[in-house]
Homo-oligomer: A and B are copies of this chain.
Amino acid sequence: LKSINVAIVGYGVVGNGVAEILVKEKDLLVKKSNLDINLKKVFTRNWNKKFKFPLPENIKAKSLNEILEDRDIDIVVELTGGVEFPYKLITDAILSGKHIVTANKALLAERGKDIFNLAEKYKIRIGFEGAVAGGIPVIRTLREGLVANRIEKIYGILNGTTNYILTEMTKYGKEFKEALKHAQKLGYAEADPTLDINGTDAGHKIAILASLSFGGFADFKDIYIEGIESVDKMDIDFGRELGYILKLLAIAKDNGNGVEIRVHPTFLPADHPLSKVDGVFNAVMIEGNNVGETMFYGKGAGSLPTASAVVSDIVDIGKSIALGVGREIEITSMNWEHKDLKLVKAPDFYTRYYIRFTVPDKVGVLAFISNIFAKYNISIAAVIQKEKLESKLAKNIVPLIILTHTASENEIQKALEEISRSNLVKAKPILIRVEDEENNLENK
């Protein structure tokens, strides 16, 4: 039975969960891992708050140095927020020879390259199962379970806040603002929900999954990200008439010319398994060349689910240490291809489109729009001209919905710009991308 000493930095929702599991499930972890995992120190900036899992005085650290300078501490668990502070902390901890477990997706997506390079140099392990999809062990699955596969595509519902809001809008006809307020009341959205609803959080997570899948670092600023702030309930309803459900989907695929990574509201076939992932649940669909289509589903956030993932990393690294391999342990950098990913940047991708125009109810409008679509090589799959919606729109103004076949984002943008320049179109067209079997989303 080997002792492993752990320190936690940052004692918020997840930190409390990790401490709770390490203390309450100590015996279970001994039995399963043959490790005596000891929570030796915890640091947080303010000890004068009330905590869900209160700690004895002797493990409350007064300073970070108390942890960094403690030679008995094997693993530092970083559970703070932001990027700069944890970057400095992890760098210092690596230089102090401590292994790292983190659930910080922003840090890994934006500064992962520097961190993993440093860790590789110093033969330090970085565990980050908690950074993506909470309790679902998707990092381990990509790295180990599916090691014998070339990953072709990943589709993820990776943000519980936005999925909760979209579910409320879809199932109960709520408007965005109302659904957001409700989510905040239930603790599913933060007071400042910006990074969730604008898609940044999902972007961080898909950047990490793409790095692991395709073996190189993705430059975060080149990822196309669009949030759900301006989703109109009306489009959710029209989409449903066409057989689609709206999700904030994170996509990474190798399209031959490079890796396409994007996050945006996406219509999915109503009978697709991802369409059925509701509320705060997360799901990740992974397609590998040998395994085919797989899907992993569970709670994407929350104290104990995320802590379950963090503790799995502590055990994993603890086992390496215990096996007496010293520093000769497996290094876990994401870029196993030893390269940066070549990203396909927006608008250089192809998908299907749902477009809602707001147009006068008169002859010639559809002809005008479809001529421009033809000019840009955009093939129309379906058209719905709705009766006017009295409550919403002015007199004689109606929504015109076009569903396209797979087309170039580039050409779509040009076509919409040209259409918008005319006097015919009364409001900026609404564009929602569509993924279905036509553009190779597997549905069994």
Residues of A within 8 A of B (CB): 17, 21, 25, 28-29, 31-33, 129, 135-137, 140-141, 143-150, 215, 273, 276, 278-279, 281, 288, 290-299, 302, 304-305, 307-309, 311-312, 315-316, 319, 323-325, 328-330, 336-337, 444
- Shortest Cβ distance from residue A176 to the other chain B in the assembled complex, whole angstroms: 22
Assembled-state Cα–Cα distance A281/B292 (Å) = 11
Neighbouring B residues of A299 by C-beta, 8 Å: 291-294
Contacts A25-B150, A323-B330: A145 and B312 contacting too (C-beta < 8 A)?
yes
Contacts A295-B298, A336-B31: A145 and B140 contacting too (C-beta < 8 A)?
yes
Assembled-state Cα–Cα distance A145/B143 (Å) = 12
- Shortest Cβ distance from residue A39 to the other chain B in the assembled complex, whole angstroms: 13
Contacts A140-B140, A291-B135: A148 and B315 contacting too (C-beta < 8 A)?
yes
Cβ-closest chain B residue relative to A293 = B298
In the complex the two chains form, is A444's CB within 8 Å of B298's CB? no
In the complex the two chains form, is B291's CB within 8 Å of A294's CB? no
In the complex the two chains form, is A319's CB within 8 Å of B330's CB? yes
- Shortest Cβ distance from residue A209 to the other chain B in the assembled complex, whole angstroms: 15
**Partner among B148, B308, B330 whose Cβ is within 8 Å of the Cβ of A312:** B148
Assembled-state Cα–Cα distance A145/B310 (Å) = 9
Neighbouring B residues of A295 by C-beta, 8 Å: 295-298
- Shortest Cβ distance from residue A216 to the other chain B in the assembled complex, whole angstroms: 11
In the complex the two chains form, is A31's CB within 8 Å of B337's CB? yes
Cβ-closest chain B residue relative to A311 = B148
In the complex the two chains form, is B148's CB within 8 Å of A137's CB? no
Neighbouring B residues of A147 by C-beta, 8 Å: 29, 32-33, 311-312, 315
Neighbouring B residues of A281 by C-beta, 8 Å: 444
Cβ-closest chain B residue relative to A30 = B336
Assembled-state Cα–Cα distance A208/B298 (Å) = 22
In the complex the two chains form, is B292's CB within 8 Å of A305's CB? yes
In the complex the two chains form, is B323's CB within 8 Å of A328's CB? yes
Task: Pick from A145, A146, A315 the residue with the most CB of B within 10 Å.
Answer: A145
Neighbouring B residues of A319 by C-beta, 8 Å: 330
Neighbouring B residues of A312 by C-beta, 8 Å: 144-148
- Shortest Cβ distance from residue A433 to the other chain B in the assembled complex, whole angstroms: 24
- Shortest Cβ distance from residue A59 to the other chain B in the assembled complex, whole angstroms: 19
Contacts A141-B145, A149-B308, A325-B325: A297 and B294 contacting too (C-beta < 8 A)?
yes
Cβ-closest chain B residue relative to A31 = B336
In the complex the two chains form, is A294's CB within 8 Å of B329's CB? no
In the complex the two chains form, is B328's CB within 8 Å of A324's CB? yes
Assembled-state Cα–Cα distance A127/B135 (Å) = 24
Which 10 A-B pairs give the minimum distances between C-beta atoms?
A137-B145, A294-B298, A148-B311, A135-B291, A295-B297, A291-B308, A290-B304, A290-B308, A148-B308, A292-B299
Contacts A148-B25, A315-B148: A290 and B307 contacting too (C-beta < 8 A)?
yes
Neighbouring B residues of A278 by C-beta, 8 Å: 444
